């Protein structure tokens, strides 16, 4: 298996490349850092991102898709969700932001199953690939059941004032040698060979290395 220890020169190489990329972005691409697309344009492209947009997504790792769900539908589901929260007293009086135990309310399920949202998910799945013809279904989205989260606006809008959060098992997963292979190019300073959309080695990653019941058992796209 790949040795997970990172030599200082490999890390420094990565940092320097990132700094150069950021300098270029701020100097030349400030107004176009995050690619955007209207949902209707996605539909007119047979449910696929136009290659110009797909290239930007692969380059930036992010996309904003506008007008996927109608505003009226969002407001209706929001009202239903608020009613659900108060009728079930699903909140902590000392911390009204703590609603992460709400997972299966009808408004949440309806939004997860929204047909337009599923079309977006299918388009995103098509950006991923395998080199070794590994059996992988990139046409069927799988719903991630996540908890509800409400953030109350803060008077202090600085980044330093925001709560820091690390997803569960972020550290433990590095014990898996198969996971080392996902980032093998970065760990060996082969930055140009790294492709975050390649799925081959991700499929071999252990599903539950620490035997915890809250662990997500399937690959989560990040």
Both tokens of 157, joined, read: 């809008």
pLDDT of residue 220: 47
Query: No. of H helices and E strands in the chain?
Result: 8, 2
180 contacts: CB under 8 Å, gap ≥ 6? 1, 2, 3, 4, 174, 187
Neighbours of 11 (CB within 10 A): 13
Exposed (0-12), middle (13-18) or buried (19+): which is 123, by Cβ within 10 Å?
buried
pLDDT of residue 158: 57
DSSP 198: B
* pTM summary value: 0.77
pLDDT of residue 208: 58
User: Which regions in the chain score pLDDT beneath 50?
Assistant: 1-4, 219-222
pLDDT of residue 164: 56
CA distances from 64 to 10, 74, 138 (A): 32, 17, 21
pLDDT of residue 167: 58
pLDDT digits (tens, 9 = 90+) for 184-207: 888 888 889 999 999 988 888 876
pLDDT of residue 4: 44
Q: How many CA atoms lie within 13 A of 182 on its CB side?
A: 18
Q: Which helix (H) or strand (E) holds 64?
A: strand 64-66
- Between CA 48 and CA 26 the distance in angstroms is 29
pLDDT of residue 222: 40
């Amino acid at each position: 298996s790949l040795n997970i220890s990172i030599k200082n020169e490999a890390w420094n190489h990565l940092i320097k490349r990132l700094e150069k990329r950021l300098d270029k972005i701020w100097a030349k691409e400030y107004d176009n850092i995050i690619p955007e697309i209207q949902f209707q344009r996605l539909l007119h492209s047979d449910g696929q991102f136009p290659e110009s947009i797909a290239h930007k997504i692969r380059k930036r790792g992010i996309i904003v898709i506008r007008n996927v769900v109608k505003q009226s539908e969002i407001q209706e589901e929001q009202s239903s969700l608020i009613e659900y929260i108060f009728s079930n007293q699903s909140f902590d009086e000392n911390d009204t932001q703590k609603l992460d135990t709400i997972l299966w309310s009808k408004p949440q399920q309806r939004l997860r199953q929204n047909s337009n949202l599923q079309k977006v998910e299918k388009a995103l799945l098509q950006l991923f690939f395998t080199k070794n013809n590994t059996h992988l279904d990139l046409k069927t989205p799988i719903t991630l059941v996540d908890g509800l989260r409400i953030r109350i606006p803060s008077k202090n809008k600085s980044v330093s004032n925001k709560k820091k959060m690390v997803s569960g098992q972020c550290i433990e997963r590095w014990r898996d040698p198969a996971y080392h292979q996902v980032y093998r190019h970065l760990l060996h300073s082969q930055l140009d060979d790294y492709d975050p959309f390649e799925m081959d080695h991700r499929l071999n990653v252990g599903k539950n290395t620490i035997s915890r019941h809250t662990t997500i058992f399937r690959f989560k796209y990040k």
